[in-house]
Structure 1
């Protein structure tokens, strides 16, 4: 039997029929690239998330810091690649600084930025939603949240792209490896300088809160804080951009939902939750088995690289009725889109708030959103699945009444 290649163009374009076949026939099996193992059923994915003693995050540090990189990568020291108890220590530090109240305080800026970007879209009638709206909106809020110099915003996408591609760079591609090393040097130097600056003068930003939150006995170092800032930038940018892009793609494919959401704004949170289920921004997350184990009736060897296919688990027909149908009114809302258990993503409230604000501003100003291309090109990162670009065309709202923001009763 030929092994499925997760990077094959037809799989990237529409992986869900392939995932369904795996769930039926080989729910835990080996695939390409490199013969990694995949877990495709919802309950098995949850079981792996819970079993941190066997399914290790820390064991995968080599993927973000391969020997041929020839330097350390602060992202490999972040809580993303940490197991308990170290994960809990790092998580506690960021939890004290990054709260729901912090995100709520950013909403006015989010709305102002989204309104400006959508106004520009309406004037032009066409744009690449990913680069012209989603990227610019999230870069703006992350710069304000974390405390980065706004002049660096144009570098953020390059920084994140270089970091997430480390494991995919060939050891023979010396030019690309040099680019990645320069990016890590540039980021690390900037963030160490930012910490020093905030020690001299605290500001109203996350870097200052991280410094205030440290205690004498928590064992954290400046390198730990730099690792957290690397993670916040990479995860905060990639996840929110993918969520907003998939949201607008779904609106373009299902245009009547724009009318429905304008008429029933209370459905907006559930609409976004269904986007997260139907097209999760984090499509897979990686683990390394520390010992031989059994999962889903299959024996996994020790030191096996395992991809928990969240995108498959969220289409599991044993967990969700009509799993392949986009239905914001569904009652089975169990969601793995932001992880599970100890590794549940701390940026969930930020990403959902940004998506909600962008959606509300689109509903105010646009009657319809349509695709501006016959076919989309998809990225080739294992962890995320998102179009490389999303060209759209819009029909402006026809009545001044539609420019009033929908009032949402409650948030998430």
Structure 2
């Protein structure tokens, strides 16, 4: 069959091959018969990193199945399609919870010990910055907590943790799952930024039970996931809500677009831990120690920061800005520990 998918909802599909190869993504162009046609925008086009959600919106509504030459892949952006592809065996995958390496790591992890280590590390780091007039939670807290938790769990001295517990060394020490540090850093930074940006959330979560903190964490991963795009390849033809993907096709799953799909979530741009339609994309059917550890770090991070700094707030005039295309998080999070 042709590698052009069946795309009944997008009238421009028949003209894709006729469009100029170098036309900027998202632009308007004309076919030889002078008919105006639009080109699907790309998450990789210049400027998209500042607000990828605008691009995601256009893709969901007008180009839910399209070929992106910059990504070199077909693109899926609707929640239903992305959620299905993440667990569908017809798509190849990298890491997926429940796979043998992940399952093996999970059997080696003592959850009670991991919880105690995450709590202790968070409180130590929070008290280190409590007396400062200003601090950057990304550099001074989020950058250290995931590495410090792994270091403490495997018995690496505190002074050596950043030298040993990163990259390949982390995986060797703590297993393939819990050794992945960078994504947990970004997820934690995004979570704290979402909470601290809204004074109402600060008040609600300051002494909140673990269940409410967990809902806030899940909501953060939905609205601003640290991993925005994941790549897969089809093993055979796959039908989606917008058409058919050919066998052997490289496919980009837009996690960031799926999490803000209005067909799945009401007011999807709002950060609302109490929303009536909660949800989080899952990458598999099994348990993943990295996912569990990240949730523990988020819970104890919030508790430690509020306990050490009861009047914690954002620095005057500061608003966090998320950056990145494939992975995305605030680069800095300036706060006044004493309020």
TM-score (norm 2): 0.77
User: Of residues 45, 56, 63 in structure 2, which corresponds to 1:26?
Assistant: 63
After TM superposition, give the deviation of residue 358 of structure 1 in Å. Answer: 0.5
After TM superposition, give the deviation of residue 7 of structure 1 in Å. Answer: 3.0
CA distance in 2, matches of 1:358, 1:45: 30
CA distance in 2, matches of 1:374, 1:331: 28
Partner residue of 2:332?
390
Partner residue of 2:4?
none
1:43 equivalent in alignment to 2:80: yes
1:360 equivalent in alignment to 2:306: no
1:298 equivalent in alignment to 2:240: no
Deviations 1:53-80 (CA, angstroms, capped at 9, x unpaired): x21126xxxxxxxxxxxxxxxxxxxxx2
Structure 1 segments unaligned to the other structure (5+ residues): 59-79, 161-183, 195-205, 207-228, 398-412
Partner residue of 2:39?
2
After TM superposition, give the deviation of residue 390 of structure 1 in Å. Answer: 1.1
User: Of residues 88, 92, 96 in structure 2, which corresponds to 1:56?
Assistant: 92
Partner residue of 2:217?
272
After TM superposition, give the deviation of residue 156 of structure 1 in Å. Answer: 5.6
Higher share of residues assigned helix? 1
After TM superposition, give the deviation of residue 350 of structure 1 in Å. Answer: 0.9
Partner residue of 1:134?
142
User: Of residues 254, 267, 271 in structure 2, which corresponds to 1:322?
Assistant: 267
Superposed CA RMSD in Å reads: 2.9
After TM superposition, give the deviation of residue 395 of structure 1 in Å. Answer: 4.3
1:250 equivalent in alignment to 2:189: no
SS at match of 1:123: coil
SS at match of 2:71: coil
1:335 equivalent in alignment to 2:280: yes
What count of residue pairs does the alignment treat as equivalent? 299
Partner residue of 1:96?
107
Q: Rate the CA distance shift 1:113–1:146 in 2: closer, same or farther, 3 A.
A: closer
Partner residue of 1:65?
none
SS at match of 1:339: coil
Deviations 1:24-62 (CA, angstroms, capped at 9, x unpaired): 11112222533322211111112212321x21126xxxx
User: Of residues 176, 179, 182 in structure 2, which corresponds to 1:233?
Assistant: 179
